[in-house]
């Protein structure tokens, strides 16, 4: 099994859109299908401390993960947010886990000290795999999203970096 994880390029825009569109209204609160231009714009607007990684399996783009700043407010500069989207053909094979681990390593290399994952509360598979990677449930937003006539809850998980800092409240950050 050949797996490659690399930075996304503009030529990946069409498969990125195809994968994302499988999730619209199901595992994301986005209700709009996105096209290649949308992903080209995302790629063009990534900052130095952000990343969009793709996972190729046997030459096929099987999924992608994004690491972005949690907020543009300067006080949050050490906090990032991660999301992983897998093509439905590749879900449940451990590839998303591998991609998420790579995002975590990338976040550490970029100087992040805290990662957040916001996940639809009904997506227990995603919640559990994040917890296996060290993320801790820290919040539950009730009825924050509305899709197809249904109010949806969002679970908020966090991970301190490096992983050895997990659970140390108020860990000091060296500047």
pLDDT at 162: 86
Q: Does residue 173 have a pLDDT over 80?
A: no
pLDDT at 170: 40
Q: HSE, CB side, 13 Å, CA atoms: give it for residue 172.
A: 2
Q: Does residue 172 have a pLDDT over 90?
A: no
pLDDT at 163: 61
Q: Does residue 174 have a pLDDT over 60?
A: no
Radius of gyration of the chain (CA): 16
Tens digits of residue pLDDT in 64-92: 999 999 999 999 999 999 999 999 999 99
Strands 79-86 and 114-120: parallel
- In terms of DSSP H, where are the helices of 33-111? 36-45, 95-109
Domain 3-165: assigned CATH number: 3.40.630.30
Q: Is 62 exposed, middle or buried (0-12, 13-18, 19+ CB in 10 A)?
A: buried
Residue 123: DSSP 8-state: -
Rounded to two decimals, the pTM is 0.89
Residue 23: DSSP 8-state: H
Q: Does residue 171 have a pLDDT over 60?
A: no
Residue 67: DSSP 8-state: E
Tens digits of residue pLDDT in 139-163: 999 999 999 999 999 999 999 998 6
Residues forming beta bridges with residue 160, ordered by sequence position:
114
């Amino acid at each position: 099994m050949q797996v490659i994880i690399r930075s996304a390029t503009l030529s990946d825009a069409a498969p990125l859109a195809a994968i994302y569109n499988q999730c619209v209204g199901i595992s994301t609160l986005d209700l709009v299908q996105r096209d290649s231009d949308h992903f080209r714009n995302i790629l063009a607007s990534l900052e130095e401390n952000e990343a969009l990684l793709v996972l190729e399996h046997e030459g096929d783009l099987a999924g992608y993960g994004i690491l972005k700043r949690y907020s543009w407010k300067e006080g949050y500069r050490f906090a990032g947010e991660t999301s992983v989207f897998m093509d439905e053909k590749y879900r449940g094979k451990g590839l998303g886990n591998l991609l998420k681990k790579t995002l975590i390593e990338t976040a550490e290399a970029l100087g992040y000290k805290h990662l957040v994952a916001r996940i639809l509360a009904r997506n227990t598979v995603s919640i559990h795999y994040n917890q296996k990677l060290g993320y801790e449930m820290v919040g539950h937003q009730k009825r924050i999203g509305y899709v197809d006539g249904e109010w949806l809850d969002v679970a908020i998980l966090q991970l301190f970096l490096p992983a050895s800092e997990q659970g140390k409240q108020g860990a000091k950050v060296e500047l």
